[in-house]
Amino acid sequence: MLAIAILAAGKGTRMKSALPKVLHPLAGISMVERVLMSCNGLSPQRRLLIVGHQAEYLEEALSHIPGLEFVLQKPQRGTGHAIQQLLPILKDFEGELLVLNGDIPLLRPRTITKLIEHHRSSVTDVTILTAKISNPEGYGRVFVDQNDIVNSIIEERDCTQEQLNNTLTNAGIYCFNWKQLAKVLPKLNNENNQGELYLTDTIAMLSKPRHIAVDDSTEVNGVNDRKQMSNCESFFQQRLRDYWMKEGVTFLDESSCTISENSFIGKDVIIEPQTHLRGRCRIGQGCHLGPGSLLSNVELGSNVKVSYSVLKDAKIGDGVEIGPFAHIRPEAVISDDCKVGNFVEIKKSQVGTGTKISHLSYIGDAELGSNVNIGAGTITANFDGETKNRTIIGNESKTGANSVLVAPITLGSQVTVGAGSTLTKDVPNGSLALGRAKQLVKRNWSPSTKAQD
């Protein structure tokens, strides 16, 4: 039987943030969710999250995670005090308690599995994860005897000058025999530099504490401040780019691009410099993204080209060309083989196959048929000051340059709109619509005749 407890009640003072530390995202996923992900495949009986500072906020932000139990620690008097809160909750529990600090987001699931296996195959009350770190600043130091049994963990602030030279550090991940831990938890005291109850002090009270050292110490990097968070972000970004490169994606300048964990990128996609994928993006095979583009929660078909553009919550078909300098906003659905050119904004609109909106247009709350040609500067005037209204344009229609379509309005198919028209009434199939003042030409006119005009 296994229970998992994640410590997330602390203030995260060193982050200097209004957002709880463990909710800060790394490659699009919060730190604490990453810690939960590192426990994937363990099938524990209980998953307990210790919350305290901004507890309600954390509970709300993580309410979508099934089976996660929130345990309140108030006030927060240290990591040992946090685990003391489990004494009534796990009163009848028998088995191991895996404890993880909520600020260690880089752990790999196989490291946790190894820790538990090692613990189960040894005669011990606790096994901790350690790391040899050349610059162990900020970490608790782990002291072992000649048989590699852990004698104690001493926090950096409580170390003597000599003890600080020890580079074996506590990663903040522990596998305890719960019944034994429950016996010693009430004995903790706060006689240390911070005046807190330290979970690490239980180690010296337990029988034959063991440790296993991680192979790659970056895995146990804790995030206590923005600099450490930035280092972790870089690590995730590198890991993601390495993964997608192995899957057949080209990056022209990989370090200038960022990818979210929940994005999928097809084969033979080329990603140019300064291009970023956020949220859940699905990028089809052979797309060419960037340079200079930001895509959030978008689905692209295959062979789509996007340059210097911003796309959000939209769906794009195969072979579409977007940009440079286009803005595709939420609920835009653009079908195959369309072209969306420079300085075009599309919002909450469906665009049919092969339609071209090549220059300087706003298309909002509209439905465009297939093979429509939207002339430069065409605007759907969708807002009447109170409500948003729809514009419908049938197949193979054309709007001239600088047309204003005042919604609600429907243009049939094969309609032609003369350049410079402002249309307020529906136009039937196959018609020409002109809505502009007739041109006036005065012959032999000069400024001196102006007064008589």
Least separation in angstroms between residue 76's CB and ligand UD1 is 3
User: Which residue(s) pair with 326 in the sheet?
Assistant: 344
For ligand UD1, the closer CB: 109 or 195: 195
User: Of the two residues 70 and 93, which places its CB atom closer to ligand UD1 in the complex?
Assistant: 70
Total binding residues toward Mg ion, as defined by CB under 5 A: 3
Active-site annotation holds for 64: no
Q: Helix, strand, or coil here: 96? A: strand
Give the count of beta carbons closer than 10 Å to the beta carbon of residue 246.
8
**140 touches ligand UD1 (CB under 6 A):** yes
Q: Shortest approach of Mg ion to residue 27 CB, angstroms?
A: 20
Regarding 199 and contact with ligand UD1 (CB under 6 A), the answer is yes
- Asked if 190 interacts with ligand UD1 (CB under 6 A), we say no
Among residues 5 and 346, whose Cβ is nearest to ligand UD1? Answer: 5
Residue-level length of the chain:
453
Q: How far apart are CA 382 and CA 385, in angstroms?
A: 9
Q: Which does 81 bind (CB under 5 to 8 A by kind): Mg ion, ligand UD1, none?
A: ligand UD1
Q: Does 103 bind Mg ion (CB under 5 A)?
A: yes
Among 38, 54, 73, 85, binds ligand UD1 (CB under 6 A): 73
Q: By C-beta, is 105 or 323 nearer to ligand UD1?
A: 105
Amino acid at 224: N
Q: Which of 24, 53, 211, 359 is an active site residue? A: 359
Burial class (CB in 10 A: 0-12, 13-18, 19+), 145: exposed
Stretch that binds Mg ion, among 52-60, 215-223, 377-385, 442-450 (CB under 5 A): 215-223
Do residues 95 and 2 lie in contact, with contact meaning Cβ atoms separated by under 8 Å?
Answer: yes
Residue nearest to Mg ion (CB): 222
Residue 222 found at the interface with Mg ion (CB under 5 A):
yes
Q: Which among ligand UD1, Mg ion, none contacts residue 7 (Cβ within 5 to 8 A by kind)?
A: ligand UD1
What is the Cα–Cα distance from 38 to 112, expressed in whole angstroms?
A: 7
Q: Give strand pairing partners of 159.
A: none
Least gap, CB of 182 to ligand UD1 (angstroms): 18
CB contact at 8 A, 4 and 42: yes
DSSP, collapsed to helix, strand or coil, labels residue 35 as: helix
Q: 154, exposed or middle or buried, with CB in 10 Å at 0-12, 13-18, 19+?
A: buried
24, 34, 46, 81: residue in contact with ligand UD1 (rule CB under 6 A):
81
Closest to ligand UD1 by CB, 74 vs 110, is: 74
Nearest approach, Cβ of residue 35 and ligand UD1 (Å):
9
Q: Is 198 in the site for ligand UD1 (CB under 6 A)?
A: yes
- How far apart CA 29 and CA 153 sit, in angstroms, is 31
Q: Which residues are CB-contacts of 140 (< 8 A; sequence separation ≥ 6)?
A: 153, 154, 155, 156, 169, 170, 200
Nearest to 206 by CA among 141, 151, 131, 148: 151
Q: Which two tokens stand for residue 17?
A: 């943030």
The piece of 34-42, 107-115, 214-222, 253-261 that touches Mg ion (CB under 5 A) is 214-222
Binding status of residue 224 toward Mg ion by CB under 5 A: yes
Q: How many Å apart are CA 212 and CA 131, to the nearest integer?
A: 8
Report 278-297 residues binding ligand UD1 (CB under 6 A).
none
Q: Minimum distance from CB of 77 to ligand UD1 (Å)?
A: 6
153 binds ligand UD1 (CB under 6 A): yes
- CA–CA distance, 136 with 271 (Å, rounded to integer): 37
Rounded Cα gap, residues 277 and 265, in angstroms: 10
- Residue 99 interacts with ligand UD1 (CB under 6 A)? no
Binding residue for ligand UD1, selected from 200, 371, 395, 397, defined by CB under 6 A = 200
Rounded alpha-carbon distances, angstroms, from residue 276 to 28, 53, 141, 256: 12, 33, 39, 9
Burial of 228: CB neighbours in 10 Å, binned 0-12, 13-18, 19+: middle
Report the site for ligand UD1 in 26-65 (rule: CB under 6 A).
Answer: 50, 52
> Which residues sit at the interface with ligand UD1, rule CB under 6 A?
7-10, 22, 50, 52, 73, 76-79, 81-82, 101-104, 139-140, 153, 155, 169-172, 198-200, 222, 224
Q: What are the residue numbers of the active site?
A: 359
